[in-house]
Structure 1
Amino acid sequence: MSKIKFGTDGWRGIIARDFTFDNVRLVSQAVADYVNSLGIAERGLVIGYDNRFLSDKFAEAAAETMAENGIPVYMTETFTPTPLTAFAIKECRTAGAVMLTASHNPPEYNGIKFIPEYAGPALPYITEKIEKNIRSLETSEKMNPENKSRAEIKKINPFPAYKKHLAEIIDFDIIRRAGLKVVIDPMFGCGIGYLEAILREAGVQPEVIHNNRDPLFGGGMPEPSQKLLVEMKDRVLAGKANLGLALDGDADRFGIIDSNGEFITPNMFLPILYYHLLAVRQWRGPVARTVATTHLLDHMARHYNLEVEETSVGFKYIGQCLMEKDAVLGGEESGGLSIKGHIPEKDGILATMLAAEIVAHHGLSLTQMMEKITDLFGKLYSERLDIKTSPAEKERIMDMLGKLAPDNLAGQKITGKVTVDGLKLVLESGAWVLIRPSGTEPLFRVYVEANSIEEMRKLQAEIKGVLGLD
């Protein structure tokens, strides 16, 4: 059995091997101890769950543990997206939430995460305290609480309030007037029924695929990537739809297919959205992005004399900027985003509705919007490479990264070095390279952004050579 450790967004493990009822109760008890230590347990906790294998039963085990600790439980009536579970914290004014989900992981995984009272991902100092509680519980003879009166478990449905909130921050009227044709794909995940209901509220009758519960996710995994959205692309082209909108397994990340069948990457959509917020909504404020996300956002912020907040990878840091830096938009290249006025948690439903608003308002496809933005702010090319290594080779490269300080790369002077998460080298042309090790396997992620495809390929080859990964 592997050690229980919280990653970028909670703890995940293989069902029956690591992710067991005993371990769910253990983690739940550690969360209960943390909440009790803050003196806010009487406010209760929301418990939500996705539609993976046994998620509802794992959620019941978590709820029972909280109730036994005297913590009132507000448990969702049915499978619920992560952003709705987070939203319910604000709606019910609880001390936080526990979400049972493994997000976009393969079907053999499940997971659990704690969402604090601010309704965004738990920051490291919080998960470190929970992990410390887990270690203490593992070595104690008795885990069950003593002298605690059992609290009540209530069932809730956060969707009506969430839908009303979205209608206040998304222009449903302009979507309704545009008469959009939309295909949606919840990828067999717990976003089933939610996005289509919201679109119908905005006057859109979407075509829906993969909207039945399947814990095996159709034999794949619920990740809204280009290679896994082929059927949605075909439906968009065949039906001459304006948009294809997809959600991952717990509906906190998004995937978009444009009317021409092009996959709109998060590194494309974030600048489109930022432009819309600045030019149409006339919002002003910083944009928050992770160290691995496009610098096209920087070009736009510079044009409007606005700040950029660069964070480590992980939406918890983006959420912190939304709360503390008054950022109007926060996003990451892996498909998470949120905006001012919403919860500081990534939300795929919000993202896809914003895409519909943009197309409806501008009367342009997202590809055409991207062309407009690159005409104004320049064009950049981004790509991520996942490079597998042996454990020994990973250790060698990790040691090298700590000492690596070249003056030049691919014939260009290095003008900046960022070490908030991995090693990022910024070149005189504005191009950059980021090398990040995986926290769980012998693998490195190499991100490159450049001004041309040729420059990007040259930098990719160069950095692989420097690291000895040819």
Structure 2
Amino acid sequence: MNNHLQLQIQQWLQNDPDPRTKAQLQTLVDTGNEAELSARFAGRLAFGTAGLRGVVGAGPMGMNRLVIRQTSAGLGAYLLAQFSDAAERGVIIGYDGRHDSKTFAHDAASVLAAMGIKVRLTSKVAPTPLVAFGVRHFNAAAGIVVTASHNPPEYNGYKVYWDNGAQIIPPHDAGIAAQIDLAATLPIPFMDHDSAVSTGKLIWLGDEYYECYRQGVKQAAVLRNHTAPEKVTLAYTAMHGVGAEMAETVLKDAGFTQVYSVASQREPDGDFPTVNFPNPEEKGAMDLVIAEAKKHGAMLACANDPDADRFAVAVRKDDGEYQMLTGDQVGVLFGHYLLSHAPTNQRLVGTTIVSSSLLSKVAKVFGAQSYTTLTGFKWLMNVGLVNSCANNQLLFAYEEALGYCVGDMVLDKDGLSALVAFAQLTAELIAKGQTIWDRLEQIYREHGFHLNAQVSIALKPETPNIGAYLRQHPPVEIGDVAISSTEDLKALARKYADGRVEKIDLPPSDVLTYYLANGARVIVRPSGTEPKIKCYYEVVEPMAASDSLADVQSRAKQTLDVFIKAHQASLPQ
């Protein structure tokens, strides 16, 4: 083992406050596991716009108490440099039900308090939206949630909100990362909780704070449609996360009395014993809630992910079976529903480049403004804030990965308010003698059936750089369909087939989008780290008066399969 690695390990063992990770590291040293030690000290778990996320374990490449303390010291130093009143405005901290989350959150609070920064710390587990809500509620300088969302049990994370209530974006991510690197070379300040409370640096957020969020949902203008809630039946699962108590409460507040929770998944459990992967998008994750819905003949089977920022729903069909709606279907249903009720000064809606284009078409019919951002809620919310004004406030934003922001109370994904809104949409339709399927069909008849798919394509190691190749050899058609325009987010240019060029107002990114003459679209995102690309496909199939939803869906699926095959055949092999 080289001297540099030995020295790193030695310093880590001296500073690690956790006997478990210390012992884990010592065992690797004692057994001479140099490969594993080298991997754990190969660098530092990168702090980016989503904060930190990684596997729990010893060393700077893992999620552990020392990494959390160093990260908190770096964040604290950055906040103090950015805001003259950062110490007084302080930071709000919450955490999910994973095994280490409470300890990590408590360590973060102790470090920030020792730096003179006021900390508001939740007294128990909290859904992620409650912390995002708290940043603006308290006018805090920042917010921290210790959560790994829907990742497997061995992961944890550290998510940071800026003072505007949205997730951090550049340049703050790089600024914080630089301060973390510096903090890792210095002694970390630390104050026990009793001392922090007695000096006014630590405030515990108890039930009265959770009540503030609850009242916020109750009073939100977008959630005040109380048409026939008693007619809705729904099953719900928190997926072993932290959403159940608040989800059941806000549904009850809105008048929904026929709610059936999956008992075996209701309480927080960091082992997630009944699901292979606690993500509602994963195959099998919704099985228990669908079974619960069947048992009660419920109309909806609803789920939050473990930190309750995402929302998923399966809807009962005429044959009594349940079908999951895609994130895009839920997004366009929300957009249509909310715009049909929105006041004239709150009609701004947004989505991301890889989500369906259908929301923008719906918005156009309503005379509303829509915007499109790079992927991620950090962009959706920060761009939404820039575009929002007194006469055109943010109404709704979504991304296809089951993230929805209904109204502007929480400037992030909020699976709890989305749950209430979807139940209210369902109730309104029932009162008209209609179903969710009827509304989708109505939207598809007007705009065409939009079908989206994501495909990850592995390339041979010798395949040329795909982004560079496509820019040097721009395709003019895919299959036998002409490309009408190409967007290059690296060059920030939109080029039309007739030679016209327009500027694109987005941050640069290695993304190419091809729009076809038949309304189809493919987005190509090369991987910067391995020989593969991600492709996001969309086809639009017109719906004739004689078509059923099943007919047009089947036809769209065939069109999509042909499109994907033709596109993949056009790529360099």
Residue in 2 aligned with 1:16? 57
Residue in 2 aligned with 1:400? 469
Contact 1:175 1:356 (C-alpha < 8 Å) held by counterparts: no
Structure 2 length normalisation: TM-score?
0.76
Distance across 2 between alignment mates of 1:380 and 1:164? 37
Structure 2 unaligned runs (5+)? 1-39, 389-393, 490-508, 541-555
Question: 3-state SS of the aligned residue for 2:405?
Answer: strand
Structure 1 length normalisation: TM-score?
0.92
Distance across 1 between alignment mates of 2:532 and 2:417? 32
Task: Count residues with an aligned counterpart.
Answer: 466
Q: Read off the aligned partner of 1:19 and give its amino acid letter.
A: M
Residue in 2 aligned with 1:319? 381
Contact 1:31 1:114 (C-alpha < 8 Å) held by counterparts: no
Q: 1:371 to 1:279 in 2, by over 3 A?
A: same
Distance across 2 between alignment mates of 1:396 and 1:114? 34
Structure 1 unaligned runs (5+)? none
Q: Read off the aligned partner of 2:565 and give its amino acid letter.
A: A
Residue in 2 aligned with 1:58? 104
Which residue among 180, 183, 201 is the counterpart of 1:152?
Answer: 201
Counterpart mapping for 1:47-446 below 5 A: 47-138=93-184, 140-144=185-189, 152-157=201-206, 158-169=209-220, 170-171=222-223, 174=226, 177-205=229-257, 206-209=259-262, 210-218=265-273, 219-225=275-281, 227=283, 228-260=285-317, 261-283=322-344, 285-326=347-388, 327-363=394-430, 364-388=434-458, 392=461, 396-403=465-472, 405-420=474-489, 421=509, 422-437=511-526, 443-446=532-535
Q: 1:7 to 1:468 in 2, by over 3 A?
A: farther
Distance across 2 between alignment mates of 1:31 and 1:204? 42
Distance across 2 between alignment mates of 1:394 and 1:94? 49
Q: Read off the aligned partner of 1:434 and give its amino acid letter.
A: I
Distance across 2 between alignment mates of 1:191 and 1:109? 19
Question: 3-state SS of the aligned residue for 2:236?
Answer: strand
Q: 1:358 to 1:41 in 2, by over 3 A?
A: same
Residue in 2 aligned with 1:455? 559
Deviations 1:193-233 (A, max 9, x none): 11012112223241111112221212522211162212222
Q: 1:338 to 1:173 in 2, by over 3 A?
A: closer
Contact 2:478 2:570 (C-alpha < 8 Å) held by counterparts: no
Q: 1:107 to 1:320 in 2, by over 3 A?
A: same
Residue in 2 aligned with 1:466? 570
Question: 3-state SS of the aligned residue for 2:164?
Answer: coil
Contact 2:340 2:366 (C-alpha < 8 Å) held by counterparts: no
Distance across 2 between alignment mates of 1:176 and 1:193? 23
Q: 1:8 to 1:404 in 2, by over 3 A?
A: farther
Larger Rg, first or second structure (1 or 2):
2
Distance across 2 between alignment mates of 1:76 and 1:21? 19
Q: 1:393 to 1:331 in 2, by over 3 A?
A: farther
Aligned-pair distance for 1:393?
Answer: 6.0
Contact 2:242 2:267 (C-alpha < 8 Å) held by counterparts: no
Pairwise CA RMSD: 2.4
Distance across 1 between alignment mates of 2:463 and 2:53? 23
Deviations 1:268-300 (A, max 9, x none): 011111111122335553321100010111221
Distance across 2 between alignment mates of 1:224 and 1:377? 28
Contact 1:175 1:202 (C-alpha < 8 Å) held by counterparts: no
Q: Read off the aligned partner of 1:370 and give its amino acid letter.
A: L
